[in-house]
């Protein structure tokens, strides 16, 4: 009899534990429906303090913790430039930091100096006229893990199905919500200088390598090979575009910088956002811009600071 009672007690505790874990997962967003839409952004132009990171996105937790410890009341932000399923983890690029100000309000010089003292750089992002966006609960640390496995695939599917050019990928942590934002306009303005510099170096190496191949191969190749070399400039141009941060018509110095496997490549042909049905309201309750509006101008497995640091 005592054995049956013990087994029943163990079974009851196991069931209670499973129910607790299920409730915790549900509270963290396990059962939350992920709704992806396109429309006006939830934020305006912002000034951020950031640190640039090259490497696995899962190693960015220290950067979140560092930025939050400087000013815990500020919103955290991360900008991801490469798709971790297509780019080797050690080459993935992102910028992580805090939002210092939004809209017409400028950050105080004291706040800027405080972040710069700890090695952060200051950069401003514009307010794009249209974005692809989604939200997810940010109630526990598990919410971040769930978001990387639920929201980012949903964004990828939405962008691919509509053949959009939406990049890079921003995550903004605000109170109990994670806002995912993919600009559909003025994307180049969201690339920090370090991204442009790395892409500029890559393009230089590719061009130098191709030039060396052309120089050494010209004396040894047959007539048939010469025919292949005639297409060389086109091939080199393609390589430069592939490695460069963008395939748009904008020039390199315009900053529209996207690597071959960045989030910019997620949407095949890069259709205009004007083809979308834009729904909802803007950041201040104003109606979102309609399809006829003209523009004014990438996921991770992160560890972010604990919830109580936000």
Q: Residues of the chain with pLDDT > 90: what percent?
A: 48
How far CA 78 is from CA of 60, 93, 94, 223, 234, in Å, comes to 9, 11, 7, 52, 36
Q: How many CB atoms lie within 10 A of CB 216?
A: 10
Reported as a pLDDT band with limits 50, 70 and 90, residue 262 is low
List strands edge to edge, sheet with 46-54: 37-39, 131-137, 177-183, 169-174, 76-80, 93-102, 46-54, 121-125
How sure is the predictor about 31, in pLDDT bands with cuts at 50, 70 and 90?
confident
pLDDT of residue 43: 83
Query: Side-chain half-sphere of 53: how many Cα atoms within 13 Å?
Result: 23
Tokens describing residue 51: 């640190």
- Pick from 303, 297, 299: nearest CA to 125: 297
Average pLDDT over every residue of 104-110: 92
Q: Could you identify the residue written with the tokens 């007690």?
A: 9
* Cβ–Cβ < 8 Å for 299, 87: no
Q: What pTM, to 2 d.p., does this model score?
A: 0.67
Using the predicted structure, report yes or no on whether residue 146 has a pLDDT greater than 70: yes
d(CA 146, CA 148): 6
What would the mean pLDDT of 174-189 be, rounded to a whole number?
A: 92
pLDDT per residue as tens digits for the range 281-290: 444 334 443 4
CA distance 300 to 95: 12
Alpha carbon 272 to its chain's center:
20
| Tokens (6 digits) for 289 | 């811009």
For the chain, what's the residue count? 310
- Please state, in angstroms and rounded to a whole number, the distance separating the CA atoms of residues 143 and 137: 6
DSSP H helical segments within 162-258, as ranges?
Answer: 193-217, 223-230, 232-243
Q: Give the Cα separation of 107 and 271 in Å (integer).
A: 36
Predicted confidence (pLDDT) per residue in 186-219, tens digit: 999 999 999 988 777 777 666 666 666 565 554 4
């Amino acid at each position: 009899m005592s054995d049956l009672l013990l087994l029943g007690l163990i079974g009851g505790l196991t069931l209670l534990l499973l129910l607790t874990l299920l409730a915790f997962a549900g509270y963290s967003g396990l059962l939350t429906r992920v709704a992806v839409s396109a429309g006006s952004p939830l934020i305006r132009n912002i000034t951020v303090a950031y640190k640039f990171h090259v490497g696995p996105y899962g190693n960015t937790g220290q950067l979140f913790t560092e930025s939050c410890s400087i000013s815990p009341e500020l919103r955290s932000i991360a900008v991801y430039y490469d798709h971790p399923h297509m780019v080797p983890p050690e080459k993935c690029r992102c910028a992580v930091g805090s939002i210092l100000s939004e809209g017409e309000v400028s950050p105080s010089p004291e706040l800027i100096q405080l972040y710069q003292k700890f090695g952060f750089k200051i950069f401003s992002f514009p307010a794009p006229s249209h974005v692809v966006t989604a939200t997810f609960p940010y109630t526990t640390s598990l919410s971040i893990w769930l978001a990387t496995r639920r929201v980012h695939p949903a964004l990828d599917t939405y962008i691919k199905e509509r053949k959009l050019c939406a990049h890079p990928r921003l995550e903004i942590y605000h109170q109990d919500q994670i806002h995912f934002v993919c600009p559909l306009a003025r994307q180049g303005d969201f690339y920090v200088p370090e991204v442009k510099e790395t892409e500029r170096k890559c393009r230089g190496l590719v061009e130098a390598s191709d030039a060396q191949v052309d120089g050494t191969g010209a004396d040894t190749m047959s007539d048939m090979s010469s025919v292949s070399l005639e297409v060389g400039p086109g091939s080199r141009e393609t390589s430069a575009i592939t490695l460069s941060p963008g395939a748009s018509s904008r020039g390199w110095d315009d900053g529209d910088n996207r690597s071959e496997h960045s989030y910019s490549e997620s949407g095949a042909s890069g259709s205009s956002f004007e083809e979308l049905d834009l729904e909802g309201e803007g950041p201040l309750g104003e109606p979102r811009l309609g399809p006829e509006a003209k523009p004014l101008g990438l996921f991770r497995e992160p560890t972010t600071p604990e919830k109580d640091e936000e």
